[in-house]
Structure formats: structure tokens, C-alpha cells
Amino acid sequence: MTEPRAVLEVDRMSHEGQVVLALRGELDNDTLGVAQDQVAAAEADAPPVLVLDLTGLEYVGSCGVRLVLLAQHGATAANRRLAVRLGHGQTRRMFDILGLTTRLEVLDRDDPEGPAT
């Protein structure tokens, strides 16, 4: 008997110079490729602001944290902004514990506007 594979869905929205990638499901080694492809496609469009909305994730593995850090590095190198929406659950706690919420532009889950461009 095989275990069910993790599922990740990514919705892409664009609004006033921002690209928002909303991830839902699980971000782990099995789904990392999907997330990497979506981030790369968004970065290729060179938006002034890329928002990774992680509030819909049920699970984030260490590879998901690495994905965010690499996206931050890429945005900084390209003189663009990366912001993350973490919410207030497990994902936020993990980023807090790792000390990353002070290194990233973190948006409140209830902020419908996202970052100012």
C-alpha cells in the first residue's frame, strides 16, 4: 500500500505591480518542484513586489523555508521586494522560531492590500 502524495496548489494573482502566489496544501520535498516553478515564472515577469501567501499551507517543510529565503535573495539581488503572508498558525510559528520574521517583510494575514508599491 502506498501513502497518498502531498498536494500543493498555487493560485497566481496580479494587482497594481504585485504578483501574489497563494499556496495551499503541503510544501515539502514532493511538492517543492511545483512551488519552485511558480516562483521562477513570477520572478521572470520582474514584478516590483512578489508576495508569497503561505496562509493556506497545512504543512511547510524545511525546503519551503529554503524556497522563501532563496526568493528573498533573488528579489534583493534584482532590486525588487519579496513579502510573505504567514498568518498566525503553524507556518508563522515556524518562521518565528527560526528567527526569520525579523529578516523578511511579513504581512499580516488580514491585510487585503498587501505591501505598498
CB 32 within 8 A of CB 63: yes
Cα maximum dimension of the chain: 50
Please tell me the predicted confidence (pLDDT) of residue 78. 95
The sign of the dihedral angle between the CA atoms of 40, 41, 46, 47 is negative
Domain ranges of the chain: 8-107
79: Cβ contacts below 8 Å, ≥ 6 apart: none
Which CATH fold topology does 8-107 show?
Answer: Transcription Regulator spoIIAA (3.30.750)
Task: Work out the mean pLDDT of the chain and round it to a whole number.
Answer: 90
The per-residue pLDDT for range 42-94, each reduced to its tens digit, is 999 999 999 999 999 999 999 999 999 999 999 999 999 999 999 888 999 99
